[in-house]
Amino acid sequence: MRAPVDDRLAVLRGPAPRRAYTARALAALENNPRCTLRALLDASGSDKAAIAEHAGYPSAFGQSSFALARGNVFEALAKEDGGAELLRLLRETLGLTLPEVGYADLNDYGGDGRPESRYQYTRELMVAAARGEEAPTLYDRPMLRLQVAGHDAYLEPDLVAFRAGDRFHVVEIKSFPIIDGQADPAQVRSATTQACAYIIALRDLLARAGIGPQAVSDDVVLVTPKDFTNRPTAAFVDARKQVATLTRQLSRLERVGDLVALLPEGLTFDLDLDGTRPQRPPAELVAALDEVDATYRPDCLNHCEMAFYCRSRARTGASLDVLGAAVREQFGGIDTTTMVLGLARGQLTPGPDQSEMAVALRHAAQLRAELTGTDGGSI
């Protein structure tokens, strides 16, 4: 059954090479699990940034080179001297009991740069550790592998995974600060979700050796600079819910055939590249994108290359999605601002599940009219 689905996804992508998955891209799946457009773009390995740009909505998504450089410097600091500072944090700040430490640097095992050799070596070491055999405790940049929509995705964690007690923990090192014990919740969530992809991939690696999921903790160890210094501090973040959501979303990609079956025949996001220059008329590409459901949310701007296109589309359709999940929930059963205004003005007849909301909207419109001295129809 896989081949026809793969053929259809290849049509969707066009002849451009399939994009490799990154943990960051996988993590983004967790942020908008209902989005069909994102699922199809990811499953087909389409180049979302190039598509968004050619459609006229270049992406502002991604980290600045300054942020990347700062992240690299902080990561190197946290790991220096064979992870001595990291170890102190894990033992003293988090109270983890670590045995004698063996540090495995897996950055360039094999010397040929092949992810598969690094994956196999990582696997050998981690399976031995999980079985209680002699093995390192700290793993610097292990190579993990995950099946995404029927294809291998190699994930090179920007982290150290270690073993404490009988469990592996995933460590995510980030350069945003924790100030007075508080960090930006959006950044913490984004870092944790990225770590979830590693947790799932590590569980997959161990499962292939018959080792159960409990061997990998659901608690991510987040290491960040403390206050305004470069001194690292660490905290546990419970990632159980995000792991479950991302797992569900990955299985949705495995069942992408259900989504593909609903696509119009011949639909493609092919840019018709001449070398690196797209030849396809942008309006035609936008029309193809418009054929697929997209569930825009304001936080797409932080997670997905297609965000400006989807925001514009949601605005054009007067969708309540642009106002965020809280507003969306308040207006359950009503999809657009046009409909909200129509009900408030009494110009639309509410459906059975909209009558309560229609009364509330009408009441709000009357109050507003009294306060502003206008009539209800002027909203």
- Contact indicator for 139, 124 with CB cutoff of 8 Å: no
State the minimum distance, in angstroms, from the CB of residue 32 to ligand SF4.
4
- Number of residues lying near ligand SF4 (CB under 6 A): 12
Query: d(Cα 351, Cα 356) in Å, to the nearest integer?
Result: 10
- Contact indicator for 139, 104 with CB cutoff of 8 Å: yes
Query: d(Cα 106, Cα 90) in Å, to the nearest integer?
Result: 20
State the minimum distance, in angstroms, from the CB of residue 265 to ligand SF4.
22
Check residue 252 for interaction with ligand SF4 (CB under 6 A): no
* DSSP state for residue 319 in the 8-state scheme: B
Check residue 141 for interaction with ligand SF4 (CB under 6 A): no
Listed ranges 90-98, 153-161, 251-259, 293-301: which one lies at the site for ligand SF4 (CB under 6 A):
293-301
Task: Specify the residue, 126 or 253, whose C-beta has the smaller distance to ligand SF4.
Answer: 253
Q: Which amino acid is at 44?
A: S
Q: Would you give the binding string for ligand SF4 spanning residues 302-331, x where CB under 6 A is met? A: --x-xx--x---------------------
State the minimum distance, in angstroms, from the CB of residue 299 to ligand SF4.
8
Task: Specify the residue, 9 or 173, whose C-beta has the smaller distance to ligand SF4.
Answer: 9
Query: d(Cα 250, Cα 139) in Å, to the nearest integer?
Result: 26
Query: d(Cα 322, Cα 301) in Å, to the nearest integer?
Result: 11
State the minimum distance, in angstroms, from the CB of residue 327 to ligand SF4.
16
**Cα 349 to Cα 235, 330, 332, 339, 354, distances in angstroms:** 53, 19, 16, 10, 9
Task: Specify the residue, 217 or 249, whose C-beta has the smaller distance to ligand SF4.
Answer: 249
- Contact indicator for 148, 162 with CB cutoff of 8 Å: no
Check residue 256 for interaction with ligand SF4 (CB under 6 A): no
Task: Specify the residue, 2 or 255, whose C-beta has the smaller distance to ligand SF4.
Answer: 255
Q: b/e for 35-61, b at 16 or more Cβ within 10 A? A: bbbbbbbbbbbbbbebbbbbbebebeb
Task: Specify the residue, 109 or 309, whose C-beta has the smaller distance to ligand SF4.
Answer: 309
Task: Specify the residue, 32 or 268, whose C-beta has the smaller distance to ligand SF4.
Answer: 32
Which residues touch 277 (CB under 8 Å, ≥6 apart)? none
Candidates 195, 199, 246, 300; binder of ligand SF4 (CB under 6 A) is: 300
Longest dimension (CA), the chain: 80
Task: Specify the residue, 296 or 331, whose C-beta has the smaller distance to ligand SF4.
Answer: 296
State the minimum distance, in angstroms, from the CB of residue 62 to ligand SF4.
14
Report 28-47 residues binding ligand SF4 (CB under 6 A): 32, 35, 37-38
Q: Is beta strand 160-164 parallel, antiparallel or unpaired with respect to 103-105?
A: unpaired
State the minimum distance, in angstroms, from the CB of residue 150 to ligand SF4.
21
Shortest CA distance to 198 belongs to which of 231, 181, 222?
Answer: 222
- Contact indicator for 10, 44 with CB cutoff of 8 Å: yes
Listed ranges 102-110, 129-137, 295-303, 363-371: which one lies at the site for ligand SF4 (CB under 6 A):
295-303
Candidates 21, 119, 139, 296; binder of ligand SF4 (CB under 6 A) is: 296
Task: Specify the residue, 289 or 358, whose C-beta has the smaller distance to ligand SF4.
Answer: 289
Q: b/e for 337-360, b at 16 or more Cβ within 10 A? A: bebbbbbbbeebebeeebeebbee
Task: Specify the residue, 77 or 301, whose C-beta has the smaller distance to ligand SF4.
Answer: 301
State the minimum distance, in angstroms, from the CB of residue 141 to ligand SF4.
29
Q: Is beta strand 167-173 parallel, antiparallel or unpaired with respect to 144-148?
A: unpaired
Binding site for ligand SF4 (CB under 6 A): 32, 35, 37-38, 294-296, 300, 304, 306-307, 310
